[in-house]
Amino acid sequence: MQNYKRHIEEHLLPEFEDKALAGILRTDVDLWEKKEKALYAASSVKTWRSTLHLIFEDAIDEGLITSNPAARRRGRGKRAGRSRDRGPEKVVTDALGILLTAERTALLSGRDDEFVAVVLKACTGMRWGEIVGLETAFVRPGAVRVEWQLYELDTGELVRCPPKDDSYRTIDSMDWLSVLVANHIARTKPKPCPCHGKTYVFRGQGAARTGGHQGAKLVDVARRASVSTGTVSNVLNHPERVTEATREKVEQAIADLGFVRGGVVPEHAAHWRRNGFATWLFTPAVSGWYPKKAPQEPRPVPLLGEPWPGVPARGRGASERADACWLPIAKGLTPHGLRHTHRTMMEDLGTEKVLMDERMGHIDGSVSARYAHVTPGMRKRLMLGLTEQWETALDARLAMSATSPVRVLSDLLRARGVSRVPVKS
């Protein structure tokens, strides 16, 4: 309803509000569409014309007009030229791209939460609102139940409502993914949010990402020095408790990052904001660049190259202190593109359409779909296939570097490395 309201108020009323319904001609609609296409994407204009068509259809039902001036004349003339109205193909990635994107997103956020969220979204095909609105009560061994979403209004309010098109569903989860999410919940110990009174798997960031202008945090120093946050705290408060070599390493990391002791640590916001997550975490992760934000132009994410794949430099003079930057993983990939990615990964595995539709929350109204049913064998094959893709990605990442500044990924790499060691007889 919010989208309908915006389409009508911003694009239809300025052109048609002063005209009588019976006085609006097909040529008026075509002229309006031509003007809009000169300013906006063809896909957006198509949506607005569909809304206008719906309004006129209601007017016909009410007996106010006899024909629909927004109706298109179909099946006439040549078919050539339709490609001009096609939007760009959606960018997707593969299992390794998912893993690398999740790692970078966690590095940018300064915590492991975003790693888990990106992997969960890409490996289940859940919608953004379903991830943000995932309550701990619906995370189960071997499955995630989609019962609710948090829908963000233009006002910024997050409304708890049913999933899109009432697509309630249970999504099978691979064993390793269930463990990843369960360990995340055990580690973060989420509490009920103040806005809805529900306990959610994921929490938002304390402050908006501003392209590296926030100061370095304790966790950044720990990642740079390849030590725990407790060790950094000891260097700052009880230097006698650590070895001289460790102290020098931590002090060097503090100098490299420009860490200022005593900085204010904001409380975590209850939930992510779609735009903030995409702009300051996800897009820089996949492209390696921060977006334009006045007065600054687009710029590479400034990095300190060690430990690999680099720790984002923050605070004043971050660009001057940086000695590395990221290459793109999948430039143009969006959070929603992870949903396309999941569908593509299932297609690559030869998954049956009925099972793909079930996971994605889609309804196929065809006659053939009425006679198609999901079997345990289908589910098992998909779980095995997705697990094989994930393990292949872990092996590829392990070949790049045996560890990661992101603790949860480092643990996964260590476990994978151990599992690959041949047992001597």
308 and 343 fall within a common domain: no
Domain-located, residue 308: yes
Q: How confident is the model at residue 218 (pLDDT cuts 50, 70, 90)?
A: confident
Dist CA 23 CA 421 (whole Å): 78
pLDDT the model gives residue 388: 98
Q: How confident is the model at residue 232 (pLDDT cuts 50, 70, 90)?
A: confident
Domain-located, residue 45: yes
pLDDT the model gives residue 398: 97
pLDDT the model gives residue 48: 93
343 and 377 fall within a common domain: yes
CATH code, domain with 224: 1.10.260.40
- Indicate the burial class of 276 (C-beta count within 10 angstroms; 0-12, 13-18, 19 or more): middle
Query: Kind of pairing, strands 169-172 and 143-146?
Result: antiparallel
307 and 343 fall within a common domain: no
Dist CA 134 CA 90 (whole Å): 25
Dist CA 31 CA 42 (whole Å): 14
The number of distinct structural domains making up the chain is: 4
222 and 267 fall within a common domain: yes
CATH code, domain with 60: 1.10.150.130
Higher pLDDT, 28 or 222: 28
pLDDT the model gives residue 208: 40
Domain-located, residue 176: yes
Higher pLDDT, 163 or 248: 163
Domain-located, residue 42: yes
Whole-structure pTM value: 0.79
246 and 280 fall within a common domain: yes
Residue 248 pLDDT > 60, yes or no? yes
45 and 113 fall within a common domain: no
Domain-located, residue 261: yes
Domain-located, residue 194: no
Tokens of 137: 């009560």
139 and 181 fall within a common domain: yes
61 and 148 fall within a common domain: no
Domain-located, residue 204: no
SS3 264: coil
Considering 221-230, 246-255, 410-419, the range whose residues carry the highest mean pLDDT is 410-419
pLDDT the model gives residue 86: 64
pLDDT the model gives residue 210: 43
240 and 306 fall within a common domain: yes
308 and 359 fall within a common domain: no
Give the pLDDT confidence of 101-139 residue by residue, as tens digits.
999 999 999 999 999 999 999 999 999 999 999 999 999
Domain-located, residue 28: yes
Residue 78 pLDDT > 70, yes or no? no
Give the pLDDT confidence of 341-353 residue by residue, as tens digits.
999 999 999 999 9
Q: How confident is the model at residue 409 (pLDDT cuts 50, 70, 90)?
A: very high
298 and 244 fall within a common domain: yes
Dist CA 138 CA 185 (whole Å): 12
Question: For the chain, how many residues are written?
Answer: 425
Dist CA 142 CA 179 (whole Å): 9
Range of the domain at 9: 2-75
Query: Kind of pairing, strands 169-172 and 158-161?
Result: unpaired
% of residues, the chain, pLDDT over 90: 68
Tell me the one-letter amino acid at 409.
L
- State residue 308 phi and psi, 5-degree precision: -65, 140
Give the pLDDT confidence of 31-65 residue by residue, as tens digits.
999 999 999 988 899 999 999 999 999 999 999 99
Task: Please count the other Cβ atoms lying within 10 Å of the Cβ belonging to residue 55.
Answer: 16
On whether the CB atoms of residues 408 and 115 are closer than 8 A, the answer is yes
222 and 311 fall within a common domain: yes
The pLDDT mean for the chain works out to 89
Q: What are the C-alpha distances in Å from 182 to residues 79, 113, 139, 179, 200?
A: 53, 12, 8, 5, 13
